[in-house]
Homo-oligomer: A and B are copies of this chain.
């Protein structure tokens, strides 16, 4: 069960515990928002000391996969809770003002993966996809034209009605309705000129500079589950990036 030997493929105990915890998360033993067993309970289950469990949990908490609350317990993180909503949205107003965000659904269609999307989402060619297009409005001004692509299989029954029931918060919906939680994303940013379609939707001149944000989101086990392209007007907004 647990390997304490010093074999060549040596891994620290807390790392093995981390894997076991992750497997329980993948298996759905603890769903987003739920509390996991206490450190002492887990130590008993895995036959290690509390300190070792602690280190495994520390690591998962550092990756925002678990959240510790002193006096209460340790919980599976979620995109639902107050203050952590829109955790992946790095766009903020130039004046730092708080904003009201609105979603306007443009379309929600089925399609088939071409070679490009098959590779990005690690699917078979011609696998079924769902494509969502929408317009994000900040304090009444249309600012982002969003194009989302996800594999159809894990998101059975997802349609425009369902999106609107969830008020357009896709990550919350993924968790609540499908138990799929995105834990990490990679974004590639470039500057592009607005084409006719986008210029129309955002009310811009053809060729106006837009910030293009291409995002791939990953769920447990680093499995890519969503591709997204946002074209953003950055006249009075900017993308914040912290370097350490």
Contact = CB atoms under 8 A, between A and B. Distances in A.
Interface of A: 63-64, 87-88, 90, 183-193, 207-212, 214-215, 232, 234, 237-244
Of the listed residues A207, A238, A243, the one surrounded by the most CB atoms of chain B closer than 10 A to its CB is A243
Nearest to A208: B193
Interface of A is mostly: strand
B186 A209 contact: no
A244 B191 contact: no
A72 B136 CA distance: 52
A243 B191 contact: no
Contact of A88 (B90, B210, B243): B243
5 nearest A-B residue pairs (beta carbon): A190-B234, A209-B209, A191-B191, A191-B209, A189-B239
A202 to B, nearest CB: 12
A195 B161 CA distance: 45
Contacts of A63: 244
Contacts of A211: 189-191, 211
Contacts of A190: 211, 234, 237-239
A239 B192 CA distance: 13
Given A63-B244, A64-B244, A207-B207, A188 B239 contact: yes
Nearest to A192: B209
Contacts of A241: 90, 186-189, 239, 241
A232 to B, nearest CB: 8
Given A190-B237, A190-B238, A209-B210, 15 more contacts: A63-B244, A184-B244, A185-B243, A186-B240, A186-B242, A187-B241, A189-B234, A189-B240, A190-B234, A191-B191, A191-B210, A191-B212, A191-B232, A207-B207, A211-B211
Nearest to A234: B190
A212 B94 CA distance: 14
Contacts of A192: 191, 209, 234
Contact of A242 (B184, B208, B214): B184
A85 to B, nearest CB: 14
A66 to B, nearest CB: 13
Contacts of A242: 184-187
22 contacts: A63-B244, A88-B243, A90-B241, A183-B244, A184-B243, A184-B244, A185-B242, A186-B240, A187-B240, A187-B243, A188-B238, A188-B241, A189-B241, A190-B238, A191-B192, A191-B210, A192-B234, A193-B208, A209-B209, A209-B210, A215-B243, A239-B241
